[in-house]
Amino acid sequence: MNSQAKSKMRAVRLAQTTLPEALEQAGLPPVLAEGYRTVSSAAAVSDLTLEQAIGVQVRQLRRRIGLTVSELAAAAGLSGGMLSKIENGQISPSLASLQSLAGALNVPVSTFFSAFEEKRDCSFVKAGSGMIIERQGNKAGHQYQLLGHSLGGKTVMEPYLITLSEEALPYPAFQHEGSEFIYMLSGEVVYRHGDQSYHLTPGDALLFDSGAPHGPEKLLSKPMTYLSIIVHQRPA
């Protein structure tokens, strides 16, 4: 196998390295690596110092393109020892060093700070305290309890607990942008999406493009409850 093929194979393997693995290989405190295994990697990034966050970013970017420490150091005009300390979060690199690394990696300098600066929002709703939305007209008897909301970012997620009471009537004509996930909790319904109908009982799930007409077509056992999660892109 020639050196170019070996380099490509190494790049593929390293690009698949997870952030927890990168942390462990960087020699960071074990408790941080453990945090990445037990919670989402996005949340655990906030536990890192700025130097550690920069180091993780540099190491990941270097490995994704299949460069060794020596190769990247040479391309950026740094010593191998200096780059090693930067990747391990042991020193606070100068702006000049970061600019050199950004040029060698072909990324903006801001990339090194993205994991540290990104806000990690959280929405908590106590049981029974979600905002209640009562549908009117043909949708009377359809109660929506909002269980949380997106605080930022490009993607909006709207989780609802939907209750259809005894007086509720079928309404298979909902239509909106994005995708919707339904998980049946109680009761029984024939739920329509486009030209297809689905018989849902507790434990059944349905995921669909909500741009097509959809909604409960036959209410077989009332009252009924189901979880509805709507995801769509935030308007620019």
Does residue 138 share a domain with residue 111? no
| Structural domains of the chain, count | 2
As a whole number of angstroms, the distance between CA 216 and CA 164 comes to: 10
Number of Cβ atoms within 10 Å of the Cβ of 26: 20
What domain range includes position 84?
3-117
Does residue 205 lie within any of the structural domains? yes
Residues 110 and 8 in one domain: yes
CATH number at residue 54: 1.10.260.40
Question: Would residue 79 count as lying in a domain?
Answer: yes
Establish if 124 belongs to a structural domain.
no
Task: Kindly state whether residue 126 falls inside one of the protein's structural domains.
Answer: no
123 in any annotated domain:
no
User: Quick check: is 137 in a domain?
Assistant: yes
141 and 108 belong to one structural domain = no
The Cα-based distances of 103 to 79, 97, 98, 100, 170 in angstroms read: 16, 10, 8, 5, 60
Same domain, 112 and 136: no
Domain assignment of residue 122, yes or no: no
Per-residue pLDDT of the chain (236 residues; tens, 9 = 90+): 554 444 444 444 434 444 455 545 555 544 444 433 333 334 344 467 888 888 888 988 888 888 899 999 999 999 999 999 999 989 888 888 988 998 888 888 878 876 665 556 677 788 877 778 776 656 778 888 888 876 666 788 889 999 999 989 999 999 998 999 999 999 999 999 999 999 999 999 999 999 999 999 999 999 999 999 999 887 76
Q: Is 109 in the same domain as 142? A: no
Domain assignment present for 146: yes
pTM of the predicted structure, to 2 decimals: 0.52
